[in-house]
Structure 1
Amino acid sequence: MKIETEIELEQWMKSNCYTFNSYSINGSFIHNGFGLDNNGGLYSWYYTERGERRTLKYFKTEEEAVNYAFDQIKSDQYANRNYIGMIKEKHRLNEIISELKKRNIEYWTDEIPYGGFEDMRTRIFVIGCDIKKVADISLPK
């Protein structure tokens, strides 16, 4: 696949259900993550976190910058994980996972200390465009 512009990259991300939470493409705003910027014809790939921005790489053309960004995003195993909710109760988690499996929906989970190590929660993510298949599943955010 040949992607040459930021607009094409943005469209590719949308059509493949990649999240924009950690990527600023074509001027979209992010708090933390990676992005492409055009400063007078000089393109850059940068990382921003907590208001601090660091340029990681410069490019002479938009096509070079977009190809680099495309490769970075495609290789990021988290870029197409769409968060659908967080569960505390194991029985409810098992119900949700059973429903996802029944629908052949690819998912990923992790466990985080929500209110400390005595209050663990499981976050559920749906991979890629399977996010379109779960609108009817109600989970606490």
Structure 2
Amino acid sequence: MNTTTRVYLPVTADDLAALDERRELPGPTREAYAVTAAVLRAQPHEDPEVLEYGALQDAALASGAGGVRIVVAAADLEQPVVREPDEGIETAVVVDGAVALPRIVSLHVGDVGADTSGEEDVELSWYDVTEIALVRAELAR
């Protein structure tokens, strides 16, 4: 039986164009963040929403690491497509293959000049997946 995992994928403007025009985030593999088995072992009594928020924040920091505008896509993927690497950040996962648009559930965009030092949480605006064109226009400003 497959289980669905919510993953947070750092995306670029080019990724958004592919999602909008070709209806998928291209593969063959993609960096993503999720509530992993390691996270659950380390924080077994934590509220699941708090754990999800942590994974989203890790994705936001990864997205803005190059000094670009932060954009994160949240997707629900089947477990066999998501695998945990042997080492690294506890929330880090690898997504095998392209991610089809119907699997994307929302987009999260950081403000211009958002702090990606990790000292504070990154403020993110939420967009429905149907608002890809709006997010692309926002990034083009």
Fold shared by both chains (TM-score > 0.5): no
Q: Which has the higher contact order (CA 8 A, sep 6+)?
A: 2
Larger-gyration structure (1/2): 1
Q: Name whichever structure is richer in helix by fraction.
A: 2
